[in-house]
Amino acid sequence: MSKKMRAWIAAVIIIAAAVAVSTWATRPAHGAQAMSGNVIDGVRVIHLMASRWSFSPNPIVVNKGDRLKILANSRDVTHGFALDGYGIDSRIPSGRETVIEFTADKAGTLEFPCSVYCGAGYGGGMRGKLIVQ
Ligand SMILES: [Cu+2]
């Protein structure tokens, strides 16, 4: 084998190893979930759909410190979005987008119950989860 050939093989091995390491290093941490929404101009924009008797997406997963803009819509009747600890309680009427903005500055998992009576399934727990990681 020529010197040149050996150098080429070494280069290919080094590049393959670098790719493998960077792939491994950037993998999601064990148990981490995909982030919700898309970051636009530094704000994580999340489209939230409320309907009897659930929210979608659920859970909402964000990074601690993310500025959030939740664009909430209802598929049927008026629902609500209440988030303890952030002082948020917004109504989500159908036919009109409700904008909910806050900074997710507390790590952990919070529930956001529907805060408007919206029918028989309401008492069964129409609630979503916000995971701040
Ligand atoms: Cu509801």
Ligand 1 center to 53 CA (angstroms): 6
pLDDT, tens only, 2-44? 777 677 666 665 556 555 555 555 555 556 679 999 999 999 9
Nearest to 122 by CA among 114, 112, 111, 130: 114
Annotated domain spans of the chain: 1-32, 38-132
- Report whether pLDDT(133) > 60: yes
In the numeric block, the tokens 């084998």 are attached to 1
pTM for the structure as a whole: 0.75
- Return the pLDDT at 13: 53
Name residue, tokens 């904008």.
Answer: 99
Q: What are the distances in angstroms from CA 116 to CA 40, 71, 85, 91?
A: 30, 18, 18, 7
Quote the ligand 1 centre to 102 CA distance (angstroms): 21
Residue 114 alpha carbon to ligand 1 centre in Å: 5
The CATH fold assigned to 38-132 is: Immunoglobulin-like (2.60.40)
Helix, strand counts (H, E) of the chain = 1, 10
Measure the CA–CA gap between 2 and 28, rounded to whole angstroms: 42
Could you tell me which of 15, 111, 97, 133 has the C-alpha nearest to residue 59?
111
Q: What is the pLDDT of residues 107-126, one digit of tens each?
A: 999 999 999 999 988 876 89
Residue 75 Cα, ligand 1 centroid: separation in angstroms? 10
